Structure 1
Amino acid sequence: MRSDLQQLGRAVKQVQYRQHRALEGGLSAVGATLAQWDALRAISRSPGASARELAAATFQTEQAFGALAGRLVAQGWIERRPGRGRRIEHHLTSSGERVLEAGHKVADEVLARCYTALTDADRATLLALLQRLIVEDA
Protein backbone atom coordinates (compact mmCIF):
# COMPACT_ATOMS: atom_id res chain seq x y z
CA MET A 1 0.00 0.00 0.00
CA ARG A 2 1.28 3.44 -0.93
CA SER A 3 1.86 6.14 1.63
CA ASP A 4 -0.96 8.39 2.74
CA LEU A 5 0.92 11.34 1.23
CA GLN A 6 0.98 9.68 -2.19
CA GLN A 7 -2.73 8.89 -1.90
CA LEU A 8 -3.40 12.50 -0.92
CA GLY A 9 -1.36 13.83 -3.85
CA ARG A 10 -3.16 11.54 -6.26
CA ALA A 11 -6.59 12.50 -4.89
CA VAL A 12 -5.81 16.22 -5.30
CA LYS A 13 -4.69 15.55 -8.88
CA GLN A 14 -7.82 13.50 -9.65
CA VAL A 15 -10.10 16.28 -8.39
CA GLN A 16 -8.12 18.86 -10.38
CA TYR A 17 -8.28 16.73 -13.53
CA ARG A 18 -12.04 16.20 -13.21
CA GLN A 19 -12.57 19.90 -12.57
CA HIS A 20 -10.46 20.94 -15.58
CA ARG A 21 -12.24 18.52 -17.92
CA ALA A 22 -15.63 19.78 -16.75
CA LEU A 23 -14.55 23.41 -17.17
CA GLU A 24 -13.14 22.73 -20.66
CA GLY A 25 -16.44 21.17 -21.70
CA GLY A 26 -18.54 23.99 -20.27
CA LEU A 27 -16.36 26.78 -21.60
CA SER A 28 -16.42 25.35 -25.10
CA ALA A 29 -20.11 26.30 -25.17
CA VAL A 30 -19.11 29.98 -24.89
CA GLY A 31 -16.31 29.60 -27.46
CA ALA A 32 -13.37 29.62 -25.07
CA THR A 33 -10.87 27.16 -23.69
CA LEU A 34 -9.90 26.96 -20.04
CA ALA A 35 -6.50 28.51 -20.82
CA GLN A 36 -8.15 31.41 -22.68
CA TRP A 37 -10.69 32.05 -19.95
CA ASP A 38 -8.01 31.85 -17.27
CA ALA A 39 -5.92 34.41 -19.17
CA LEU A 40 -8.92 36.74 -19.51
CA ARG A 41 -9.56 36.32 -15.79
CA ALA A 42 -5.93 37.17 -14.94
CA ILE A 43 -5.98 40.26 -17.19
CA SER A 44 -9.26 41.35 -15.62
CA ARG A 45 -7.73 41.07 -12.15
CA SER A 46 -4.59 42.99 -13.18
CA PRO A 47 -5.32 45.34 -16.11
CA GLY A 48 -2.08 46.55 -17.65
CA ALA A 49 -0.06 43.59 -16.40
CA SER A 50 2.95 42.37 -18.36
CA ALA A 51 3.23 38.98 -20.04
CA ARG A 52 5.64 37.89 -17.31
CA GLU A 53 3.14 38.75 -14.57
CA LEU A 54 0.27 37.12 -16.42
CA ALA A 55 2.28 33.99 -17.20
CA ALA A 56 2.97 33.56 -13.48
CA ALA A 57 -0.69 34.20 -12.61
CA THR A 58 -1.84 31.54 -15.09
CA PHE A 59 0.88 28.95 -14.32
CA GLN A 60 2.45 29.20 -17.77
CA THR A 61 5.84 30.05 -19.20
CA GLU A 62 6.27 33.51 -20.67
CA GLN A 63 6.61 31.97 -24.12
CA ALA A 64 3.39 29.96 -23.77
CA PHE A 65 1.52 32.99 -22.44
CA GLY A 66 2.85 35.14 -25.29
CA ALA A 67 1.50 32.68 -27.86
CA LEU A 68 -1.85 32.53 -26.06
CA ALA A 69 -2.02 36.33 -25.85
CA GLY A 70 -1.37 36.53 -29.59
CA ARG A 71 -4.39 34.30 -30.20
CA LEU A 72 -6.50 36.39 -27.81
CA VAL A 73 -5.52 39.55 -29.71
CA ALA A 74 -6.47 37.86 -33.01
CA GLN A 75 -9.87 36.96 -31.54
CA GLY A 76 -10.37 40.57 -30.44
CA TRP A 77 -10.58 39.66 -26.76
CA ILE A 78 -7.54 41.59 -25.53
CA GLU A 79 -5.37 44.51 -26.55
CA ARG A 80 -1.64 44.90 -26.05
CA ARG A 81 -0.48 48.45 -25.43
CA PRO A 82 2.98 49.92 -24.98
CA GLY A 83 3.91 50.58 -21.36
CA ARG A 84 6.99 52.11 -19.79
CA GLY A 85 10.22 51.09 -21.44
CA ARG A 86 9.83 47.79 -23.28
CA ARG A 87 6.83 46.74 -21.20
CA ILE A 88 3.73 45.62 -23.09
CA GLU A 89 0.51 45.97 -21.12
CA HIS A 90 -2.51 43.69 -21.55
CA HIS A 91 -6.12 44.89 -21.40
CA LEU A 92 -9.50 43.28 -22.05
CA THR A 93 -11.66 44.51 -24.90
CA SER A 94 -15.43 44.71 -24.52
CA SER A 95 -15.65 41.42 -26.42
CA GLY A 96 -13.17 39.86 -24.02
CA GLU A 97 -15.20 41.12 -21.07
CA ARG A 98 -18.31 39.43 -22.50
CA VAL A 99 -16.46 36.11 -22.92
CA LEU A 100 -15.04 36.43 -19.41
CA GLU A 101 -18.49 37.03 -17.92
CA ALA A 102 -20.00 34.11 -19.82
CA GLY A 103 -17.12 31.99 -18.57
CA HIS A 104 -17.76 33.06 -14.97
CA LYS A 105 -21.33 31.80 -15.26
CA VAL A 106 -20.14 28.48 -16.70
CA ALA A 107 -17.45 28.12 -14.03
CA ASP A 108 -19.91 28.79 -11.22
CA GLU A 109 -22.23 26.07 -12.53
CA VAL A 110 -19.44 23.55 -13.20
CA LEU A 111 -17.72 24.10 -9.86
CA ALA A 112 -21.01 23.81 -7.98
CA ARG A 113 -21.42 20.36 -9.57
CA CYS A 114 -17.80 19.39 -8.87
CA TYR A 115 -18.12 20.14 -5.17
CA THR A 116 -21.75 19.15 -4.62
CA ALA A 117 -20.72 16.25 -2.34
CA LEU A 118 -19.28 18.76 0.15
CA THR A 119 -21.28 20.90 2.53
CA ASP A 120 -20.62 24.63 2.73
CA ALA A 121 -18.58 23.98 5.88
CA ASP A 122 -16.59 21.21 4.14
CA ARG A 123 -15.80 23.53 1.22
CA ALA A 124 -14.70 26.28 3.59
CA THR A 125 -12.45 23.84 5.44
CA LEU A 126 -10.96 22.50 2.20
CA LEU A 127 -10.30 26.03 0.95
CA ALA A 128 -8.65 27.02 4.25
CA LEU A 129 -6.42 23.93 4.19
CA LEU A 130 -5.37 24.48 0.58
CA GLN A 131 -4.68 28.17 1.22
CA ARG A 132 -2.51 27.18 4.16
CA LEU A 133 -0.44 24.97 1.85
CA ILE A 134 -0.19 27.74 -0.75
CA VAL A 135 1.09 30.23 1.84
CA GLU A 136 3.65 27.70 3.14
CA ASP A 137 4.90 27.19 -0.42
CA ALA A 138 5.30 30.92 -1.14
Structure 2
Amino acid sequence: MYSELQTLGRAVKQAQYRQHRALESGLTAIGTTLAQWDALRAISNATGASARELAAATFQSEQAFGTLTSRLVAQGLVERRPGRGRRIEHHLTPDGERILSEGHLVATGVLTSCFSPLSAAERTTLLALLQRLTLGEEA
Protein backbone atom coordinates (compact mmCIF):
# COMPACT_ATOMS: atom_id res chain seq x y z
CA MET A 1 0.00 0.00 0.00
CA TYR A 2 1.23 3.47 -0.90
CA SER A 3 2.13 5.97 1.75
CA GLU A 4 0.66 9.46 1.54
CA LEU A 5 4.01 10.79 0.24
CA GLN A 6 4.16 8.12 -2.49
CA THR A 7 0.59 8.96 -3.49
CA LEU A 8 1.49 12.65 -3.62
CA GLY A 9 4.59 11.96 -5.71
CA ARG A 10 2.60 9.83 -8.11
CA ALA A 11 -0.12 12.49 -8.44
CA VAL A 12 2.50 15.14 -9.33
CA LYS A 13 4.01 12.77 -11.91
CA GLN A 14 0.56 11.96 -13.32
CA ALA A 15 -0.29 15.65 -13.74
CA GLN A 16 3.08 16.28 -15.41
CA TYR A 17 2.64 13.30 -17.72
CA ARG A 18 -0.85 14.47 -18.77
CA GLN A 19 0.46 17.98 -19.42
CA HIS A 20 3.46 16.75 -21.43
CA ARG A 21 1.33 14.41 -23.53
CA ALA A 22 -1.09 17.23 -24.41
CA LEU A 23 1.77 19.66 -25.14
CA GLU A 24 3.53 17.11 -27.34
CA SER A 25 0.36 16.51 -29.33
CA GLY A 26 -0.33 20.22 -29.83
CA LEU A 27 3.26 21.06 -30.69
CA THR A 28 3.45 18.21 -33.22
CA ALA A 29 0.59 19.92 -35.06
CA ILE A 30 2.80 23.00 -35.60
CA GLY A 31 5.84 20.97 -36.64
CA THR A 32 7.89 20.77 -33.48
CA THR A 33 8.31 18.70 -30.34
CA LEU A 34 8.16 19.58 -26.67
CA ALA A 35 11.94 19.23 -26.32
CA GLN A 36 12.55 21.45 -29.36
CA TRP A 37 10.05 24.09 -28.25
CA ASP A 38 11.52 24.08 -24.74
CA ALA A 39 14.99 24.65 -26.25
CA LEU A 40 13.66 27.52 -28.38
CA ARG A 41 12.05 29.01 -25.27
CA ALA A 42 15.29 28.72 -23.29
CA ILE A 43 17.31 30.31 -26.09
CA SER A 44 14.79 33.14 -26.37
CA ASN A 45 14.91 33.74 -22.61
CA ALA A 46 18.73 33.79 -22.59
CA THR A 47 19.84 34.97 -26.04
CA GLY A 48 23.54 34.33 -26.52
CA ALA A 49 23.71 31.72 -23.76
CA SER A 50 26.16 28.85 -23.94
CA ALA A 51 25.17 25.22 -24.47
CA ARG A 52 26.00 24.50 -20.82
CA GLU A 53 23.61 27.21 -19.58
CA LEU A 54 20.87 26.14 -21.96
CA ALA A 55 21.25 22.45 -21.11
CA ALA A 56 20.75 23.28 -17.44
CA ALA A 57 17.72 25.46 -18.24
CA THR A 58 16.10 22.61 -20.18
CA PHE A 59 17.00 19.82 -17.72
CA GLN A 60 19.25 18.06 -20.24
CA SER A 61 22.86 16.97 -20.40
CA GLU A 62 25.19 19.12 -22.50
CA GLN A 63 25.54 16.26 -24.97
CA ALA A 64 21.77 15.84 -25.36
CA PHE A 65 21.29 19.58 -25.73
CA GLY A 66 24.06 19.69 -28.36
CA THR A 67 22.34 16.97 -30.37
CA LEU A 68 19.00 18.76 -30.09
CA THR A 69 20.54 22.08 -31.10
CA SER A 70 22.14 20.48 -34.15
CA ARG A 71 18.66 19.39 -35.29
CA LEU A 72 17.32 22.92 -34.67
CA VAL A 73 20.19 24.41 -36.67
CA ALA A 74 19.52 21.96 -39.54
CA GLN A 75 15.84 23.00 -39.48
CA GLY A 76 16.81 26.67 -39.71
CA LEU A 77 15.35 27.53 -36.30
CA VAL A 78 18.57 28.29 -34.41
CA GLU A 79 21.96 29.63 -35.33
CA ARG A 80 25.21 29.30 -33.44
CA ARG A 81 27.58 32.25 -33.36
CA PRO A 82 31.08 32.66 -31.97
CA GLY A 83 31.14 34.36 -28.58
CA ARG A 84 33.97 35.39 -26.29
CA GLY A 85 36.87 32.97 -26.30
CA ARG A 86 35.68 29.49 -27.25
CA ARG A 87 32.09 30.20 -26.25
CA ILE A 88 29.41 29.43 -28.85
CA GLU A 89 26.26 31.52 -28.47
CA HIS A 90 22.78 30.42 -29.52
CA HIS A 91 20.23 32.67 -31.24
CA LEU A 92 16.80 32.10 -32.76
CA THR A 93 16.27 32.67 -36.47
CA PRO A 94 13.05 34.33 -37.69
CA ASP A 95 11.62 30.82 -38.29
CA GLY A 96 12.64 29.88 -34.74
CA GLU A 97 10.83 32.96 -33.42
CA ARG A 98 7.72 31.98 -35.40
CA ILE A 99 7.68 28.39 -34.07
CA LEU A 100 8.28 29.69 -30.54
CA SER A 101 5.36 32.09 -30.86
CA GLU A 102 3.04 29.40 -32.24
CA GLY A 103 4.20 27.11 -29.42
CA HIS A 104 3.27 29.74 -26.83
CA LEU A 105 -0.30 29.70 -28.20
CA VAL A 106 -0.40 25.90 -28.00
CA ALA A 107 1.01 25.92 -24.45
CA THR A 108 -1.49 28.53 -23.29
CA GLY A 109 -4.36 26.39 -24.54
CA VAL A 110 -2.98 23.17 -23.07
CA LEU A 111 -2.14 24.68 -19.70
CA THR A 112 -5.49 26.45 -19.48
CA SER A 113 -7.15 23.08 -19.97
CA CYS A 114 -4.81 21.21 -17.60
CA PHE A 115 -5.31 23.67 -14.75
CA SER A 116 -9.00 24.43 -15.41
CA PRO A 117 -10.20 22.33 -12.45
CA LEU A 118 -8.38 24.77 -10.13
CA SER A 119 -9.52 28.26 -9.21
CA ALA A 120 -7.13 31.19 -9.69
CA ALA A 121 -6.43 31.16 -5.94
CA GLU A 122 -5.69 27.41 -5.99
CA ARG A 123 -3.31 27.86 -8.94
CA THR A 124 -1.50 30.63 -7.04
CA THR A 125 -1.22 28.38 -3.98
CA LEU A 126 0.00 25.43 -6.04
CA LEU A 127 2.63 27.58 -7.72
CA ALA A 128 3.84 28.92 -4.39
CA LEU A 129 4.08 25.42 -2.94
CA LEU A 130 5.97 24.03 -5.94
CA GLN A 131 8.34 26.99 -5.91
CA ARG A 132 9.01 26.35 -2.23
CA LEU A 133 9.85 22.70 -3.02
CA THR A 134 12.28 23.70 -5.76
CA LEU A 135 13.79 26.78 -4.11
CA GLY A 136 17.45 27.05 -4.93
CA GLU A 137 17.51 24.31 -7.59
CA GLU A 138 17.86 26.67 -10.54
CA ALA A 139 20.83 28.64 -9.30
Matching residue of 1:122: 122
Matching residue of 1:56: 56
Matching residue of 2:22: 22
Give the TM-score, by structure 1 length.
Answer: 0.97
Gaps of 5+ in 2: none
Matches for 1:1-138 after TM superposition, within 5 Å: 1-135=1-135, 137=137
State the alpha-carbon separation in 1 of the partners of residues 18 and 51 from structure 2.
Answer: 28
State the alpha-carbon separation in 2 of the partners of residues 58 and 136 from structure 1.
Answer: 16
1:131 partner SS: helix
2:81 partner SS: strand
Q: Report how far residue 78 of structure 1 moved.
A: 0.6
Give the TM-score, by structure 2 length.
Answer: 0.97
> How high is the sequence identity, in percent, across the aligned residues?
72
After superposition, the C-alpha distances for 1:85-125 in whole angstroms (9 at most, x for unaligned) are 11100000111000000000000000101111101111110
After superposing on structure 2, the runs of 4+ consecutive aligned residues of structure 1 that deviate more than 6 Å are none
Q: Report how far residue 3 of structure 1 moved.
A: 1.1
State the alpha-carbon separation in 1 of the partners of residues 31 and 137 from structure 2.
Answer: 34
Distance verdict in 2 for CA 1:83–1:29, change over 3 Å: same
Question: Aligned residue pairs: how many?
Answer: 138
The CA RMSD measured in Å over matched residues stands at 0.9
